[in-house]
Amino acid sequence: MSAIKANSYVDITDVLCPITFVKAKVAIEELEDGQILEIKMNGGEPLNNVPRSLKDEGHKVVQVEDHGNGTYTVFVKKGDL
Partner 1 sequence: MSFTNDQLERYSRHIILKEVGVKGQKKLLKSKVLIIGTGGLGAPAAMFLAAAGVGTIGLVDSDNVELSNLQRQIIHLTKDVGKPKVVSGQETINEMNPDVNVVTYQEWVSSANIIGIIKDQDYDFIIDGTDNFPAKFLINDACVLTEKPFSHAGIIRFHGQTMTYVPGQGPCYRCIFKNPPPPDAVPTCKQAGVLGVMGGIIGTIQATEAIKYVLGIGELLTGQLLTYDALDMDFRKIKLPLVKDCPVCGESAKIKELIDYEGAVCELKQN
Catalog residues that contact partner 1 under the rule CB under 8 A: 18-19, 21-23, 25-26, 29, 53, 56-57, 81
Least Å from the CB of residue 56 to partner 1: 8
For residue 70, is it left (φ>0), alpha (ψ between -120 and 50) or beta? left
Least Å from the CB of residue 4 to partner 1: 24
Shorter beta-carbon distance to partner 1: residue 57 or 65 = 57
Shorter beta-carbon distance to partner 1: residue 23 or 77 = 23
- The two beta strands, 71-77 and 60-66, are antiparallel
Tell which residue, 49, 62, 60, has the closest CA to residue 12: 49
Told to judge if 78 belongs to the known catalytic residues of this protein, a careful annotator would answer no
